[in-house]
Amino acid sequence: MKMRFLLAIFAAIVVSSMAVAGGASRSGGGPLGHLGDEGSGVVAHGDLGGGNSTACAQAAGRMFKSCKFEVKEEFHATVAKCINLGDFGERTDCLDGADEARAEDSEGCSAQKEARLDVCEMLDEDLYDPEPLTDSSIDFIDPNDIGDTELPNPYFSLEAGNTYVLRAGEDFEETIVVHVTDEVYEVLGVDCRIVVDIVLLLEDGEWVAVEATDDLYAQADNGDVYYCGEVSRNYEDGLLDNLDGSFLAGLDWAKSGILIMANPQAGIAHRQEYLLGEAEDVIQYVGTMEAPPAEEGGENPNPDFSCAGNGGCVKTEEFIPPDPESGEFKYFLDGVGFVLGVGLENGEVTGERDELVCTGDSLDVLADCGIVDLPGLEEELCRLSSAFCDD
């Protein structure tokens, strides 16, 4: 059932991508037609007009132009709605609001461009190529061997059955359940493990979905875990709202990345995923023997998940160029995995935290996590994913 669901979702994304591509006008220049400036002609294959700049920097420039076009489109669409308002005061307020939104969104486009260029410099990147899943220098292992004949990544185990429960938010209003299934999905010839990640809120005594994600991961023989793709279902008031953030390596030029290394070193940075405008997460390793300081809110209160009390954690900083103001420090404990996340905005701690509450080798651990209304939670989990349903 899970496999059929994933195929259906990815098929929908393919159809959507084809519809967008099919609706674009094209000149005789082939797939790079209309890559020039607004109103200009065709850019020839192999010459993107970037002079000596890298492909990474050129892509940042093109995404900036794309963003500006979107801002203009939204502005004109809003103005069209405003001019149909009969009340003069209401119409004036609407037009003023459109101007303000255009100015603010334009600044956002510039911030995104600078963030993408910063990533280019940080990674010393030209082309993000080849696709890791098809790179002949990387050998991937059978997910079913992890925990048997192959050691799992010490910071993110793909051993089937592993289950994690976290609390999240400024007031820990969210509950997150992560479960490593025994299912796989083949991506570009690589068997990727399906990991289900569900975010829930308890509202008026009922569990309400915030996000339900089917993540796809593969482990290389050196222990590094690669991000093959994800189906991200985002909910609003418990109802499915969008699939923003979804990607699949090989589809619409998306590429995989390394979720987390098995042997990271301080200062190293890399992409975790790559689909411009949808999936651009970047991770940098801050240190390998770290503990959260007081200004970040201190340790996870569970001593089993304390960094200082267990030899130190790998600390990372993760950020997304399309949302340059936001970021997160994450702490990973050897043999456990993720234990703590600290939200950032413009480099400052926001007060939002993700804390690991409990973990086990099966869904049975849910009974030991102190969850309010466990039967209700299990029912909602099953509704959102068959991975949580009794056979």
19 occurs within a structural domain? no
What is the rounded CA–CA span in Å between residue 42 and residue 34?
A: 5
Q: Please choose, from the candidates 363, 359, 354, the residue with its C-alpha nearest in 3D space to the C-alpha of residue 385.
A: 363
| Same structural domain, 171 and 293 | yes
66 occurs within a structural domain? yes
What's the structural domain count of the chain?
A: 2
pLDDT at 390: 82
| Same structural domain, 89 and 190 | no
Q: Please choose, from the candidates 309, 178, 181, 283, the residue with its C-alpha nearest in 3D space to the C-alpha of residue 224.
A: 283
Instruction: Give residue for tokens 């461009």.
Output: 113
The upper half-sphere exposure of residue 332, i.e. CA atoms within 13 Å in the direction of its Cβ, equals: 25
Residues 6+ apart with CB under 8 A from 108: 67
- pLDDT tens for 96-114 read 999 999 999 999 999 999 9
Asked if residues 259 and 156 have their Cβ atoms less than 8 Å apart, the reply is yes
Q: Which residue has the higher pLDDT, 215 or 41?
A: 215
What is the rounded CA–CA span in Å between residue 187 and residue 153?
A: 20
pLDDT at 214: 98
Mean pLDDT of the chain: 90
| Same structural domain, 67 and 103 | yes
Residues 6+ apart with CB under 8 A from 247: 229, 230, 254, 273, 275, 278, 279
| Same structural domain, 63 and 204 | no
- Tell me: pLDDT of 1 over 60: no
- pLDDT tens for 263-281 read 999 999 999 999 999 999 9
Domain boundary among 101, 126, 151: 126
pLDDT band for position 23 (cuts 50, 70, 90): very low
| Same structural domain, 155 and 96 | no
pLDDT at 37: 45
For residue 128, give the 3-state DSSP assignment.
coil
- Tell me: pLDDT of 22 over 90: no
pLDDT at 13: 54
DSSP, res 302: S
Name the token pair of 208: 């309400």
Query: Percent of the chain scored above 70 by pLDDT?
Result: 86
8 occurs within a structural domain? no
Of 3-17, 47-61, 147-161, the poorest mean pLDDT is in 3-17
| Same structural domain, 238 and 271 | yes
| Same structural domain, 336 and 238 | yes
Measured from the Cβ of residue 361, the count of other Cβ atoms closer than 10 Å reads: 14
Calculate the alpha carbon distances from 176 to 78, 167, 168, 196, 358 in Å.
37, 6, 7, 10, 11
Q: Which amino acid is at 77?
A: A
What is the rounded CA–CA span in Å between residue 247 and residue 254?
A: 7
Can you tell me the mean pLDDT for 195-221? 97
| Same structural domain, 230 and 376 | yes
**Bridge partners of residue 273, in order along the sequence:** 256
pTM for the predicted model, two decimal places: 0.88
Asked if residues 341 and 163 have their Cβ atoms less than 8 Å apart, the reply is no
**H or E stretch at 111:** helix 88-123
The range of the structural domain enclosing residue 326 comes to: 140-388
| Same structural domain, 224 and 368 | yes
pLDDT at 50: 54
pLDDT band for position 123 (cuts 50, 70, 90): very high
Q: Which residue has the higher pLDDT, 52 or 35?
A: 52
pLDDT band for position 8 (cuts 50, 70, 90): low
| Same structural domain, 113 and 163 | no
Q: Please choose, from the candidates 72, 165, 68, 171, the residue with its C-alpha nearest in 3D space to the C-alpha of residue 111.
A: 68
147 occurs within a structural domain? yes
Q: For the domain that residue 214 is a member of, what is the CATH number?
A: 2.40.360
pLDDT at 63: 97
Asked if residues 312 and 288 have their Cβ atoms less than 8 Å apart, the reply is yes
| Same structural domain, 97 and 212 | no
Calculate the alpha carbon distances from 291 to 105, 111, 259, 283, 315 in Å.
37, 31, 21, 18, 8
Can you tell me the mean pLDDT for 196-212? 96
Q: Which residue has the higher pLDDT, 249 or 390?
A: 249
- pLDDT tens for 364-385 read 999 999 999 999 999 999 999 9
Can you tell me the mean pLDDT for 154-167? 98
Asked if residues 220 and 283 have their Cβ atoms less than 8 Å apart, the reply is no
